[in-house]
Structure 1
């Protein structure tokens, strides 16, 4: 594994070089010892998997507030996504800045998000599958979200935003009083 720091403190792209032979390929998705170098210092409490049928679909932007703030390791295992993280940490010098990376099954790269980041992605191909490792279990009362087209963030999605879930559509834009979360 190799690690590429992003412009947002704590947000890291994980680069893998799969081993390939006549049978196919192999890549280690999680190695706690190696990921310590990139800043992962939490247990894996939950692993989730999502499938998205159509390109253009957006999932997110989701985060959990303390005491349930979570780190995530996100990997696209089929297709391609445009993965986005938004810094929502109170007092962060990059507060409300966002960073996006293309994650794909071909590259098997991942994004490592520490607590205090909202996360989402847009499917760039049909039939996308994504695997998420979470440092904490999902706690519905601590879940929050930001509307994907919030003007305050100014996210430039690569495709027209499509097929938001009812829940994601109901997220309100961030108001001027939003000061973030403690990570």
Structure 2
């Protein structure tokens, strides 16, 4: 595996390093020791799948508040998405910055997102599926969200979403969220 730093402190693009032969290929996608060596979680007690039927589906920007702030390892198992992390950690050197990567099933790349960051994505084709490793159990009462188009972050999405859930569309701006 290769760990490529992003614009967000502690966030990495994780690339598989497949070994190929006449049968096909084989690659590790997670190794506790290698993740720990990068300062990433080496234990993920929860995994989830997100299925998205239509190109232009937006989910996010989601995060969990302390004490259940969760790190995520996000991988696409079908299709292609524009995956975004926004640093909401006030003590971070990259506070309020964002990073994005195109994740797709062909490359088998992933994005490791530190706890304290918001996450969202936009599907770039129909029938996308994502597989998440989560460092904490989901706590609905600590779930938070901010607007995908918050001008404070000025995320350069490839295009405006076509499908967005009511909850995601109603999220406040970050400045409104932190004063609640």
- The TM-score range, normalised by the shorter chain, is over 0.9
- 3-state SS, counterpart of residue 75 of structure 1: strand
Partner of 2:85: 85
Measure how far apart 1:169 and its partner are. Answer: 1.1
Residue equivalent to 2:64: 64
Q: 1:51 aligns to what?
A: 51
CA distance in 1 between partners of 2:20 and 2:159 (Å): 32
TM-score by length of 2: 0.93
What is the distance in 1 between the residues matched to 2:111 and 2:141? 25
Q: CA deviation at 1:118?
A: 0.3
Q: Which consecutive unaligned segments of at least 5 residues does structure 2 have?
A: none
2:98 equivalent in structure 1: 98
1:143 paired to 2:143: yes
Residue pair 2:53, 2:128 contacting (<8 A) in 1 also? yes
- Shift, 1:125, TM fit: 1.2
Indicate whether 1:122 and 2:122 are aligned.
Answer: yes
Query: Unaligned 5+ residue runs, structure 1?
Result: none
Residues 4-23 of structure 1: per-residue CA shift (max 9 Å, x gap): 01121101110112233444
What's the RMSD between the two structures over aligned residues?
1.6
Instruction: After TM superposition, give the deviation of residue 176 of structure 1 in Å.
Output: 6.4
Deviation string 1:20-48 (CA, Å, 9 cap, x unpaired) is 34444333222111111222234211000
Tell me, in whole angstroms, the C-alpha distance in 1 between the residues paired with 2:38 and 2:103.
17
Aligned-partner Cα distance in 1 for 2:4–2:145:
27
Structure 1 CA distance, aligned partners of 2:126 and 2:110?
Answer: 19
Cross-structure match for 1:16 = 16
Aligned residue pair count = 179
Structure-1-length-normalised TM-score:
0.91
Aligned to 2:155: 155
| Contact 2:41-2:71 within 8 A present in 1 as well | no
Displacement of 1:80 in angstroms is: 0.7
